[in-house]
Amino acid sequence: MAATPSQPTSRTRSWWGWGWTDAHPDDAECTAMGALLPGTLGRPLPVPRVRDLAIARPVVEPPRSLADLVSDEPRDRAAHAMGKAYRDVVRALRGRPGRIPDLVARPTDERGVADLLDWAGDHRVAVVPYGGGSSVVGGVEYRGDAHRAVMSLDLTAMGRVLEVDTVGRAARIQAGTLGPSLEDQLRPHDLTLRHFPQSFEFSTLGGWLATRAGGHYATGRTHIDDFVQSMRVVTPAGTSSSWRLPASGAGPSPDRLFLGSEGALGVITEAWVRLQERPRHKASAAVAFTDFHDALRAVRALAQSDLSPANCRLLDAGEAALSGSAQDGSAVLVLGFESADEPVASRLERAVGLARSHGGRYGGATGRDGAAAGAPSGDAAVAAWRSAFLRMPYLRDGLARMGAVAETFETAATWDRIPALIEEVRTGIGEAALKATGYPATVNCRLTHVYPDGAAPYFTVLAAGRAGDEVALWDDLKAVAGEVLHRHRATITHHHAVGRDHRPGYDRQRPEPFALALRAAKGALDPRGILNPGVLVD
């Protein structure tokens, strides 16, 4: 049995934390960050080592015909034990990772996927589909004991763009293609998917589809759902292949059943997705607001206009400070426009005008990047935001090493509920953290995506931990937030999926007849219950 990593790189992925090992903050940086947060450890927890884990020998062995596709190498198995949520990182730091899979399989084609599922079904082996492993909701681990063994099904050996239709701007792409490789393969055709979640480097097309990932655009069509022409999904009951269609009214959409199915109904192996020309025109600006509620009204006006900004991210004062976009207590609205067709300066100008009419401050008079008092410059704020955006998960892990609670979660709700929802999450988590640890917590909020009828608030929580008990503390804080979301009928997840961590909220949110239908569908497609057990339905 051999590990056969695909889409290779000279950099090393961390088995326990976010991203590249060479991008992790070192001990000194961790200590410095910890010093900013009262109640954390004086020195960082050591970086965990695979050799310190008690990794049992696999209890199953694949048949010789599949042996080449399967690895039982300890580091490989450890790296596939969990996703990359804060609670996963802490469990690794504390030497208590989730169940280590017995095997890691890397099929190279659809036949391999089907054969592996057949074998797993015959031997009561749970199969956990795995793309880039960036789940932050417990989507890629096994919890339970109803199966004889666990196999992580890593799709990244299926990482090619197979076909490009330049007339209709679409491509047939294998599910295991990681973000950067996907864009690299499209670039020669001057086309782009323009789906850039925060996990872009470490997530795959198949993962985006299985979790209904939210992407680049802050307004309009942004969920990967809207970019799907057709999908192929291998299920234990056969392979589902939908037709490549721009639109159809023929019954409930087959693709929409598998979008968001999180590996519980089948393994997505490839999809035709809609592409775009690369943008030739771009413009950005940052607008500062003294009053967050003014900013909310401005963003709503923008979302309800015809302007369609590609970027329309509203950072509250704390988030703006954290990202370096503003340090004076202002909320900051980061605006961006892009087009392959025509200059976008006039749209940006109208958007800034709309924001100013709601109390925004913009230093446009001093030039494109000029700043009035308290207002950050356009490109500078955008760059600060983007850099912080990509750096954030690494810093989270550094704070985790300092024993802190550092995690994010997101939701979405209609506009009428947004102000109270944000306020109650802030207050609820702040009070609960103070009560639990004796230290005040930081709860920041930004709107990552906005719609004419509502918005997606994204919360960052930074708090003192409870040494050795960080996971339970975070679960408690998250439960407080879950109650607020439920009270406001705000979704348990806007774009991170349900996984195992959000199941309680999801079970309360989803209509019971839909649960019946989904359970029945699962029974029909996965009659032996091997696919990602515990996800979506029991």
For residues 7 and 241, which CB has a smaller minimum distance to a copy of itself in the complex?
Answer: 241
For residues 141 and 262, which CB has a smaller minimum distance to a copy of itself in the complex?
Answer: 262
Q: Which stretch binds a copy of itself (CB under 8 A): 173-181, 432-440, 472-480, 515-523?
A: 515-523
For residues 71 and 448, which CB has a smaller minimum distance to a copy of itself in the complex?
Answer: 448
Residues 70-109 that bind a copy of itself (CB under 8 A): none
Quick one: which of 246, 365, 373, 435 contacts a copy of itself (CB under 8 A)? 246
Write each residue from 387 to 416 as x if it is in contact with a copy of itself (CB under 8 A), else as -, in one continuous string: -------------------------xxxxx
For 411-432, give the DSSP string.
--EEGGGHHHHHHHHHHHHHHH
Q: Which stretch binds a copy of itself (CB under 8 A): 26-34, 78-86, 168-176, 401-409?
A: 168-176
Give the residue from 78, 218, 90 showing the smallest Cα distance to 150.
Answer: 78
Q: Which residues contact 243 (CB under 8 A, 6 or more apart)?
A: 230
For residues 383 and 518, which CB has a smaller minimum distance to a copy of itself in the complex?
Answer: 518
Residues 197-226 that bind a copy of itself (CB under 8 A): 211-214, 221, 223
For position 489 contacting a copy of itself by CB under 8 A, the verdict is yes
Q: Which stretch binds a copy of itself (CB under 8 A): 107-115, 155-163, 177-185, 260-268?
A: 260-268
CB of 358 to a copy of itself, least distance (A): 14
CA distance 27 to 47: 9
Burial of residue 225 (CB within 10 Å: 0-12, 13-18, 19+) is middle
CA distance 59 to 248: 47
For position 189 contacting a copy of itself by CB under 8 A, the verdict is no
For position 164 contacting a copy of itself by CB under 8 A, the verdict is no
CB of 295 to a copy of itself, least distance (A): 16
Strands (DSSP E) contained in 83-148 are: 103-105, 125-130
For residues 50 and 228, which CB has a smaller minimum distance to a copy of itself in the complex?
Answer: 228
Say how many C-beta atoms besides its own lie within 10 A of residue 144's C-beta.
12
Amino acid occupying residue 102? D
Quick one: which of 104, 193, 233, 400 contacts a copy of itself (CB under 8 A)? 233
Question: What string of H, E and C letters represents the secondary structure of 157-191?
Answer: CCCCEEEEECCCCEEEEECCCEHHHHHHHHHHHCE
CA distance 535 to 464: 31
Give the residue from 211, 275, 217, 209 showing the smallest Cα distance to 242.
Answer: 209
Residues 335-354 that bind a copy of itself (CB under 8 A): 339-342, 350
Quick one: which of 91, 106, 466, 494 contacts a copy of itself (CB under 8 A)? 494
Quick one: which of 63, 168, 329, 353 contacts a copy of itself (CB under 8 A)? 168
* C-beta separation of 377 from 333 below 8 A: no
For position 518 contacting a copy of itself by CB under 8 A, the verdict is yes
Q: Which stretch binds a copy of itself (CB under 8 A): 42-50, 187-195, 229-237, 384-392?
A: 229-237
Give the residue from 477, 491, 481, 484 showing the smallest Cα distance to 449.
Answer: 491
For position 290 contacting a copy of itself by CB under 8 A, the verdict is no
* C-beta separation of 147 from 533 below 8 A: yes
Backbone angles phi, psi at 259, to 5 degrees: -65, 120
